[in-house]
Chains A and B, each alone.
Chain A
Amino acid sequence: MKINEYIESGILEAYVLGSASEAEANELFNLKAQHPQIEEALFKLESDLERIAEHMAIAPPPNTWAKIEGGINELVKTPQFEYLIGEEPKESSRGSRSRKSEQFIEVEAESGHMRIRKIWRWVFAAVFILGKIFLAFAIYYYLENRHTQEEIEKLKIELESKRSR
C-alpha cells in the first residue's frame, strides 16, 4: 500500500471526525505504528480541527460557568449521579446500580406505571358492572327486609291489641 495515497484517501479525516468504521480504525492503528508520517498527519488534522472549531466558536455568556458550577454542586448533593442528557454508559450504569443495591432496598419500581394485557380492561369493566348490580340488589333487599319487618311489627301490634280486647 502506498502511504501517500492512503493519507490522501480521506480515511484520516474520517477517523479524526469520528466516522471511520471499526475495520478502518484498526487498519489505521496498525499503519500508524509502522509509518510515522501517518501519526504526524493525524496530529496535524487534530490541530486543524481544533483551529476550525476555534474560528467557529461563540463566546458563552459571562454567567455560564456559575451555572455549570451550580449544576455540578447539585450533582454532588444528590446521592446517585445521573447524566442530564441521554443514557448513562452501560458499564457505568451497571456499576452505579450495583453500588445502589448494596446500600438500598428498592421498595418502589422505577416507573409508576405497569403494563397489563388489554383483555384485562373487559374483566375490570365486568367486575365493575357486577359490583354495581350486587349493590343495587343489596339495597333493594335491605329496603324490602326493612319494609317486611315494619309490616310484621304492625301485625304483632294488631294481634296484641285484639288479644287484649
Chain B
Amino acid sequence: MLETTPQSLTEHKPQSIRSLYERHGGMLLGYIFEVVKDRKLAEEYLIKIFCDLSVQLNDVSHTDISGWPQLQKFTREKLLSSAEHSKFVGLNPGLKMSGAPNHYLEQLTEEQRQVFCDVYYYGKTIADISKTLNLTEDLTRKALKEAFAIMRKGSEN
C-alpha cells in the first residue's frame, strides 16, 4: 500500500507533476483567473494547487488525476474550499477583464453564460441553477448544452 512519505513524494513528484504542469499549467491558470479575477492571486493559487496535487498524487485514494477534467474538478474543489471562496462567488466569470482570454464566454447569451459558469467554475448542480434561474431542469441542461456547443465551435475556429 502506498503511503505519503517524504521519500515517496520526491520519487513520484518530478515526472507526474511536471508533466501535468507542462500540459495543463496554462489552462489551469486561465481557469483560476476566471474564478478569482486577479492575475497575481491566480498565480498564487496555481502554485498552491500544484503543491497540493503533489500530496494528492501520493495519496492512495486519489491517484486518478491524469487528465484535464479531473484536474479541473480538483482545482474547483480546492478553490471552493478555500477561505476566500465567498469572495469568488460574488465575482462574475465571463466578465471582460484586461488580458483575459474569455471572449468565448462573451459569445453566449446571459442565460447560457450563467448556466455554464455556475457549472464549470462554481460546481453548482443543475437542480440548484434551475431554481435560481426559475427554469426547468431540462431547459437548464439544454442551455448548458447550447453553451458548450457555442464554446466548442468557437474553439474549433
Contacts and interface: CB of A to CB of B under 8 A. Distances in A.
Nearest to B61: A91
Which has the most chain B C-beta neighbours within 10 Å: A20, A56, A91, A92? Answer: A56
A101 B123 CA distance: 35
Interface in B8-62: 9-10, 13, 17-18, 21, 24-27, 29-31, 33-34, 39, 42-43, 45-52, 54-55, 59-62
A35 to B, nearest CB: 18
Interface stretch (A46-54, A108-116, A130-138, A155-163): A46-54
B124 to A, nearest CB: 6
A55 interface: yes
The size bracket of the interface on B is 35 or more
B148 A60 contact: no
B43 A61 contact: yes
Interface in A34-81: 45-46, 48-61, 64-65, 67-68, 71-72, 74-77, 79, 81
Contacts of A49: 68-69, 72
B27 A81 contact: no
A34 B145 CA distance: 23
B126 interface: yes
Interface residues of A, number: 51
Contact of B25 (A55, A56, A64, A86): A64
Contacts of A68: 17, 21, 46-47, 50-51
- Interface of B (DSSP majority class): helix
Given A19-B123, A85-B49, A75 B54 contact: yes
B50 A56 contact: no
A13 B46 contact: no
A68 to B, nearest CB: 4
Interface of A: 8-11, 13-14, 16-21, 45-46, 48-61, 64-65, 67-68, 71-72, 74-77, 79, 81, 83-87, 89, 91-92, 95-96, 99
11 contacts: A9-B141, A9-B145, A19-B129, A56-B30, A58-B99, A60-B25, A71-B48, A76-B6, A79-B6, A85-B78, A86-B78
